[in-house]
Amino acid sequence: MDLPSILLNLSGMIRDNTLVRFYLLAYLLSWFLWIPLALSNAGLIPLDLPQALFILGAFGPAISALAVTGRYEGWRGVKSLLGRLLIARLPVKWYLLSLLGPFGIVMTVLLILFMFFGPIPDLGFEDPGALTGIFFGSLLVCANEELSWRGFALPRFQKKYKALLSSLITGFLWGGIHIPLFILQPERGGGFQLPLIIPGFIMLCMLLSVIYTWLFNSTRGSVLIATLFHTALNTANELYSSPVHDQDRVAMFIFTGIIFVLSLIIIAFYGTKNLSANPRINK
């Protein structure tokens, strides 16, 4: 697709009230809670705001998706959207991939670190019970995100664009909504400065979005599978801890490189049109 065609399609997207209103409302709801909390935590405003605003802000996208769907498609549309969370009659391989794949990625990061840098000093692994708690604690938040970005937004983008471009746009906007969190929770930056970590995080979301699109289109639009992968990835990133920040930063680069390679493999194997052996989901 050439540049004029992309610009023409983008102008059409801007006239699509459902997508525009979804993103405006999602960002408004989340940032309305996160930005004041970030400023409060930084001591920039004289208010002591409850930390519960962090969790409430995380549900801005899901509230927006359900509200906009209800406004334009009624209760039938809301049931259809929520029904994507119940697409569960799938081959076992998708469950194994979504639950174990992220841990394989993180273990590969550790293996590469060991190969090039030797044993990691003071490396510690989380207790299985703690990881289970992290998994189930993250599950609801990830379901909220996947219902929004993959369940609502991605099919609408895929009506207009190929799956690859749809993935990149979705990933860019998915990453962008997290910007206040790097002020609210500086530890998310892994020791990087904001001018580097924010563009890097958005790029990572765009690459991850290719993988999520592959999962979504390959499983007939299952938000459940995307949610399990997202939750397992969040949990796998808590698998180990090390106080050596230099190696933590190297680990982040290796992790991003692995996601980049996996995205390229999906693109090369399935093509940009569908990123899947199945037709892309566009409704």
Other Cβ atoms closer than 10 A to 190: 14
- Is residue 168 over pLDDT 50? yes
Kindly tell me if the per-residue pLDDT of 148 is higher than 90: yes
Most confident of 129-138, 181-190, 234-243: 129-138
pLDDT on residue 242: 67
Cβ-count burial of 73 within 10 angstroms (0-12 exposed, 13-18 middle, 19+ buried)? middle
- Rounded Cα distance between 177 and 31, Å, is 8
At a CB cut-off of 8 Å and minimum separation 6, what does 104 contact?
A: none
Indicate if the pLDDT at residue 18 is higher than 70.
Answer: yes
Percent of the chain past pLDDT 70, that is, above it, reads 88
CA distance 204 to 45: 32
21-73 pLDDT, tens digit per residue, is 999 999 999 999 998 888 887 777 777 777 788 889 999 999 999 999 999 99
pLDDT at 189 over 60: no
Please tell me the number of Cα atoms within 13 Å of 167 on its side-chain side: 29
Q: How far apart are CA 226 and CA 212, in angstroms?
A: 6
Q: pLDDT digits over 228-273, tens only?
A: 999 999 999 888 876 655 677 788 889 999 999 999 999 999 999 9
pTM: 0.89
Q: What pLDDT is stored for residue 120 in this prediction?
A: 74
